[in-house]
Amino acid sequence: MAEISDSKWITRAALIGVAFVVVVLIVASIFRKPTRAVAKTNCISNVKQLALGAIMYAGDNDDILPNGAVWMDKITEYVKYDSVFHDTTFVPDGGYGYAYRKKLSGVNETKIDKPQNLILLFDSTLLGRNESSELWSLPNPGRHGEGNNAAFVDGHAKWLKAPDQVFADDAKVVIEK
């Protein structure tokens, strides 16, 4: 039986070590945090579900949108999973990261002339439960690349890159008293 020299053992051990590191890196990549694209998609799904919850709440309450001070509490029964209330990718554990539009608190949604242009919920720098504010709390720079996610009074949601255009469209919307 031929003996294996020390240098061959060292070579084999090095190859096994390299193979082990490669396997560890592959497994780690499978379990890493979601990519930015996945995070943006999850978040846009969240704001859409939250907006639809607010719209369903209004449908059951004479078309009156929830009060901003308790909006999450009011729409809980319309949102299937608690995780929807949290932007888990970019907000510290336990934080929420979404805000409800303060000027829409208690407004009759049928009195809004262009609901497709009026932001209802959005990514926010405010991280508490039931946060409501105006668009000044949008993260800058954006939480998702160079933009943020928002949902509109008509129920659609989208990623917004250019806040100037959003603010311009939003400012044109009339809310009848």
Q: How far apart are CA 127 and CA 20, in angstroms?
A: 41
- Asked if residue 56 and residue 121 are part of one domain, the reply reads yes
- Shared domain for 10 and 71, answered yes or no, is no
* 104 in a structural domain: yes
Is the Cβ–Cβ distance between 55 and 115 less than 8 Å?
A: no
- As a whole number of angstroms, the distance between CA 34 and CA 29 comes to 10
pLDDT digits (tens, 9 = 90+) for 166-177: 666 666 666 776
Place of tokens 């539009």: 101
Q: Let me know whether 2 and 62 are in one domain.
A: no
In a shared domain, residues 157 and 134: yes
Helix (H, G, I), strand (E, B) or coil at 133: strand
Q: Dump pLDDT digits (tens) for 45-97.
A: 999 999 999 999 999 999 999 999 999 999 999 998 999 999 877 788 888 99
Two tokens at 116? 């497709």
In a domain, 176, yes or no: no
pTM over 0.85, yes/no:
no
Q: Which domain holds residue 163?
A: 35-171
Say if residues 131 and 139 touch (Cβ distance below 8 Å). Answer: no
In this structure, the answer to whether residues 23 and 83 fall within a common structural domain is no
Least confident of 26-30, 84-88, 117-121: 26-30
User: Are residues 8 and 68 located together in one domain of the fold?
Assistant: no
Tell the residue number behind the tokens 């039986």, with chain if given.
1
116 vs 169: CA distance, rounded Å: 10
Co-location of 24 and 82 in the same domain:
no
Q: How many domains does the chain have?
A: 2
Same domain, residue pair 28 and 39: no
What's the whole-number mean pLDDT along residues 115-144?
91
Note the residue count of the chain: 177
Kindly report the number of other CB atoms within 10 A of residue 102's CB atom: 15
